[in-house]
Amino acid sequence: MSFKIGFIGLGNMGAPMAHNLANAGHSVTGFDTAGTTAQGVAAASTVQDACAEADFVITMLPNGAILRSVADEVLPAMKKGATLIDCSTVDVESARHVGAQAADAGIGFVDAPVSGGIGGASGGTLTFMAGGSDDAFAAANPLFDIMGQKAVHCGDAGAGQAAKICNNMILGATMIATCEAFALADKLGLDRQKMFDVVSTSSGYSWSMNAYCPAPGVGPQSPADNDYTPGFAAELMLKDLGLSQQAAEAVDADTPMGALARALYAQFVEEEDGKGRDFSAMLPRFAARSRSA
């Protein structure tokens, strides 16, 4: 079955996702304020042109404020019964707001942030964390199958964003813990390979250590082996840690490790040399420091 799909936001992630949908035989029309396009995707001159008559509209945008303003334009242009799928990483409140607005307009909504980065977007191997009604999720599922390898239905609108920011809060804190432990091991004279051999098979193991080891030449191939070229950029981790703290404040949750991880990534990105580097470049940062500075 071939669908008409409007795709809004053809950046690093959106362009390859839109391309994969077109490649699978769907009729995809894209719009991006920067004028970017994607292979096999027809270019619309307005956001409304990309959405009119579409069975699905997919958004892949920088933040919640932009999502809200795009939704204000998109929802009135969509036909009733169509589905809006937002794949951006945004705050939970914006996802719920747009979900409610879509319901009022008779349009299905799924918030479906992704994990897997640019490689996953190009290779069609993303993981989607989805929130929305059973019907909306079922409708969107064939498109998730093309753009990704797994989609988990996490609950109502906003649940996908909640899952994403909780996951990334764990990831940020774990990466910092892994990096500071390597830096401590260095100063204790412990070989990094030995450290990996022990921790990756002991109770300190984690995705950060086992699958994305921050030490160059140790463990599987990772951005550390490519001079910390992202991968997953430190500033994107900072964004996600900011969203988790925003959510924690909204629901009065105590998240001290997440708060500290956010503060450390903010310092790394805003005051040190972290911007444009992979988030695992926390290892050379810690290795170059002493206890007091």
Q: Assign residue 36 a region (left: φ > 0; alpha: ψ between -120 and 50; beta: otherwise).
A: beta
128 Cβ neighbours under 8 A, 6+ residues apart: 87, 112, 113, 114, 144, 147, 148, 150, 151, 152, 160
SS3 163: helix
Among the listed residues 147, 118, 134, the one whose alpha carbon sits nearest the alpha carbon of residue 18: 147
* By the rule CB under 6 A, 229 interacts with ligand NAD: no
Q: Is 248 in the site for ligand NAD (CB under 6 A)?
A: no
Choice between 66 and 105, CB closer to ligand NAD: 66
Rounded-to-integer distance, Cα 120 and Cα 137, Å: 21
Selection from 199, 247, 70, 231 nearest residue 85 by Cα: 70
Residues 102-161 that bind ligand NAD (CB under 6 A): 114, 117-118
| Residue 46 binds to ligand NAD (criterion: CB under 6 A) | no
Assigned token pair, 266: 């903010």
Residue 184: CA count within 13 A, CB half-sphere: 7
Would you count residue 236 as binding ligand NAD (CB under 6 A)?
yes
Q: Whole-number minimum distance, CB 209 to ligand NAD, in Å?
A: 21
Of positions 3, 5, 7, 9, contacts ligand NAD by CB under 6 A: 9
Distance linking the first and last C-alpha atoms of the chain: 60
Q: Least CB distance from residue 264 to ligand NAD, whole Å?
A: 19
The span from the CA of 140 to the CA of 138, in Å, is: 5
- Between 114 and 185, name the residue whose CB sits nearer to ligand NAD: 114
Q: Which residues are catalytic?
A: 164
CB of 284 to ligand NAD, least distance (A): 21
The values of phi and psi at residue 8, to 5°, are -110, 120
Question: Is residue 89 part of the contact set for ligand NAD (CB under 6 A)?
Answer: yes
Minimum gap (Å) between residue 233 Cβ and ligand NAD = 7
Contact 268, 234 (CB under 8 A): yes
Q: What string marks each residue from 47 to 76 as x (binds ligand NAD by CB under 6 A) or -?
A: -------------xxx---x---x------
Answer yes or no whether residue 13 interacts with ligand NAD by CB under 6 A.
yes
Residues near ligand NAD (CB under 6 A), total: 25
Compute the least distance from the CB of residue 119 to ligand NAD, in Å: 8
Among residues 4, 23, 27, 36, the one that binds ligand NAD under rule CB under 6 A:
36
Residue 86 bridge partners (DSSP): 59, 111
Task: Measure the CA–CA gap between 26 and 108, rounded to whole angstroms.
Answer: 19
Which of 12, 193, 201, 267: binder of ligand NAD (CB under 6 A)?
12
Nearest to 158 by CA among 98, 76, 246, 220: 98
Q: Among all residues, whose Cβ is closest to ligand NAD?
A: 11
Residue number with CB closer to ligand NAD (98 or 218): 98
Does 45 sit near ligand NAD (CB under 6 A)? no
Q: Given the rule CB under 6 A, which residues bind ligand NAD? A: 8-14, 31-34, 36, 60-62, 66, 70, 88-89, 114, 117-118, 232, 236, 239
